[in-house]
Structure 1
Amino acid sequence: MAIVADDQPISRQDFQRFVTDRGAFVWLVDGVIVAYLLLEQVDGAAHIEQVTVYPEHARQGIGAQLIVVADSWARVRGLPAVTLTTFRDVPWNAPYYERLGFRAFLPGDWGAAMGARMDTEAARGLEAWPRMAMIRPVSKLRTAEAGVHE
């Protein structure tokens, strides 16, 4: 998995696109970013492009709270689901998302954009480890509870 560890961070230009589209969220501790979430719309669903919690702040529920933010982001846009792509067998990837209510999103159910996304990830070398797409219906939690407003 060295390719993942060596993967370059998102470019400033790409990050700015998420900010402009109101799909970038950060988690601060004492004014310092310790986690972030990047969202965009893909095939009529909210897609988690990236959710990252820095290791020294892991296992504190921050990632789960960012998933709640993703859910609320989808809801205010009238989107029915949240999707993501992840490693199938890494414990803090697919098994973690399953505990948060995601399920396998099978290729026959993907739209063209999700298929293209999976192809792009494979071209970057990520197919060396089993990958999968996952989906979770938007919950009934009120949007204001997650602090996401349009």
Structure 2
Amino acid sequence: MNRQEWSLRLARPEDAELMPAIEAAAGKKFLQIDGIGSAGSHTMPVDRLQRYIRKGHCLVSFVDERLVGFLVNEPFSRELHIWEMDVDPDYQGRGIGAGLIRACQIDARNSGYSAITLTTFRDVPWNGPFYARLGFEEVTALDAHPRLAGELALEADHGLPVERRCAMIHFLN
């Protein structure tokens, strides 16, 4: 396998047009998993991506000149929430996703955030277990995190199986 070097940077407005195709390609992996095949069938709208990009809340990764991954986040008080992180399936397994998460962690810590949060599937190998390896832990006391509880409730309303979803947090202190 050709293990090309990759790089990352803040996203630029022109990157937004390429991101949904990466998200859709990565989402196809969910078709292999019973009960959640539709999880990867929707992509983040380009106009929403452009809003995050304008605010500096989106990282992208490249191999040569090709955009192969991205991470979108948004601040909520002293926490930074990851809305989406995807890597093109042709480039997975090269540390790109972990690199995007680590860059987000460094930036969040340097910017004074106390934690990074996200919601994910607790039992899908490239979801919950992946984030756990990068220092995230499952939020078990959702009453103490009403924003995350609300996000999980919205996901359930959109058909995601509540028993397989979880919120995770990585404390930066």
Which TM class, normalised by the smaller chain length? 0.7 to 0.9
Relative contact order, higher structure (CA 8 A, sep 6+): 1
- Is this contact kept in 2: 1:42–1:114, CA < 8 A? no
1:88 maps to 2:122: yes
Moved more, 115-124 or 15-24: 115-124
Question: 1:124: how far off?
Answer: 1.1
Alignment partners' CA distance in 1, 2:44 and 2:121: 19
Question: 1:109 pairs with 120, 144, 150, which one?
Answer: 144
The residue aligned with 2:41 is: 6
Cα distance change of structure 1 residues 51 and 92 upon mapping to structure 2, 3 Å threshold: same
The residue aligned with 2:105 is: 71
State the AA in 1 paired with 2:106. S
Moved more, 57-66 or 120-129: 120-129
Partner deviation per Cα, 1:11-43 (whole Å, 9 max, x = no partner):
111101111221111101111110000011135
Q: What SS is found at the alignment partner of 1:125?
A: coil
Cα distance change of structure 1 residues 43 and 114 upon mapping to structure 2, 3 Å threshold: farther
- Structure 1, gaps ≥5 residues long: 140-150
Question: 1:129: how far off?
Answer: 5.5
Question: 1:127: how far off?
Answer: 2.3
Question: 1:69: how far off?
Answer: 1.4
State the AA in 1 paired with 2:39. V
* % identical equivalent positions: 34
The alignment covers a number of residue pairs equal to 137
Alignment partners' CA distance in 2, 1:122 and 1:93: 17
Aligned residues: CA RMSD: 1.6
Q: What SS is found at the alignment partner of 2:83?
A: strand
- Is this contact kept in 1: 2:78–2:112, CA < 8 A? no
Alignment partners' CA distance in 2, 1:43 and 1:86: 21
- Structure 2, gaps ≥5 residues long: 1-35
Alignment partners' CA distance in 2, 1:56 and 1:109: 39
Partner deviation per Cα, 1:73-106 (whole Å, 9 max, x = no partner):
2123211111111001111110111111111112
Alignment partners' CA distance in 1, 2:155 and 2:77: 17
- Is this contact kept in 1: 2:143–2:149, CA < 8 A? no
Alignment partners' CA distance in 2, 1:92 and 1:123: 23
- Is this contact kept in 2: 1:87–1:129, CA < 8 A? no
State the AA in 2 paired with 1:81. A
